[in-house]
């Protein structure tokens, strides 16, 4: 009988950070590390950090019962493009989470997420597809996070915040909590610079930096 095949799609910085988590997750499920590969569209070495590197075409050609991929690429627009490609080809979305992630009550997490070590998701949170929560980030109570949202390491997302699709939150940014029924909103595709202290809602598509965070330019 053919076995399933698992991919970390993206063999660069993000992917190399996700691979050990994926390996550990599969080991706990009793899956051999040989069934885990990197996939990347750019040519590269035969192996990266001990794991085979395949092109997407090779990944599809490899015998497998079912194929899974986690999209380990920080650029959310690329993630969305690859998510569509994978869906068309019957490659299933795969969520990878570090063993020490803390998830409290009533957390709904969309498919294909990456939760890095020391991430905490507290209670009553809704998160969309292909979310990246990098090292030491947290999401506090009553937040709603859209699809293809990216947190760099150390993001402090406090309670009652809405983050729309494709927003990018830089390393160490702090977002002030909203109020019940009146959330602080980070608009679609907005970028919050590293270390920013966000005290009010951010419109879609803009970049904010500084303390208090202001629109750049
Ligand atoms: N990549 C890919 N397909 C795409 C776009 C990017 O396989 O359509 C790969 C690219 O070749 C590179 C990785 O994704 O290896 C992105 O790496 P980068 O260092 O730019 O960013 P990060 O690893 O931080 O996401």
Q: What tens digit of pLDDT does each residue of 41-58 get? A: 999 999 999 999 999 999
141 noted as active-site residue: yes
42 lines ligand 1 (CB under 6 A): yes
**Alpha-carbon dihedral angle through residues 199, 201, 205, 207, given to the nearest 10 degrees:** -10
Q: Can you give the pLDDT at residue 1? A: 76
Does the pLDDT at position 118 exceed 90?
yes
78 lines ligand 1 (CB under 6 A): yes
Does the pLDDT at position 205 exceed 90?
yes
Q: How many angstroms separate the Cα of 121 from the Cα of each of 18, 61, 126, 160, 200?
A: 18, 37, 10, 13, 22
Task: Quick: pLDDT tens for 65-109.
Answer: 999 999 999 999 999 999 999 999 999 999 999 999 999 999 999
Q: Can you give the pLDDT at residue 133? A: 98
Closest Cα to atom 14 of ligand 1: 10
- Binned at pLDDT 50, 70 and 90, residue 160 comes out as very high
**How far is the C-alpha of 147 from the C-alpha of 109, rounded, in Å?**
10
Report, as an integer, the average pLDDT of 110-124.
98
What is the pTM for the complete model shown? 0.98
Q: Can you give the pLDDT at residue 147? A: 99
CB 182 within 8 A of CB 166: no
């Amino acid at each position: 009988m053919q076995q399933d095949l698992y991919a970390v799609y993206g063999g660069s910085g993000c992917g190399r950070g996700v691979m050990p988590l994926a390996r550990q997750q599969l080991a706990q499920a009793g899956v051999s590390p040989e069934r885990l590969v990197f996939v990347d569209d750019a040519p590269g070495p035969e192996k990266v950090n001990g794991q085979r590197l395949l092109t997407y075409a090779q990944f599809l050609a490899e015998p497998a019962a079912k194929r899974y991929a986690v999209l380990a690429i920080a650029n959310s627009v690329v993630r969305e493009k690859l998510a569509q490609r994978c869906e068309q080809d019957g490659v299933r979305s795969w969520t990878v989470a570090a063993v020490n992630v803390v998830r409290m009550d009533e957390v709904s997490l969309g498919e294909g997420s990456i939760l890095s070590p020391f991430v905490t998701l507290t209670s009553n949170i809704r998160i969309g597809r292909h979310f990246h929560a990098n090292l030491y980030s947290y999401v506090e109570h009553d937040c709603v996070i859209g699809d293809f949202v990216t947190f760099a390491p150390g993001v402090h997302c406090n309670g009652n915040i809405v983050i729309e699709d494709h927003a990018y939150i830089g390393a160490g940014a702090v977002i002030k909590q909203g109020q019940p029924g009146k959330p602080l909103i980070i608009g679609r595709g907005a970028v919050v610079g590293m270390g920013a202290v966000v005290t009010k809602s951010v419109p879609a598509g803009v970049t904010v930096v500084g303390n208090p965070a202001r629109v750049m330019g």
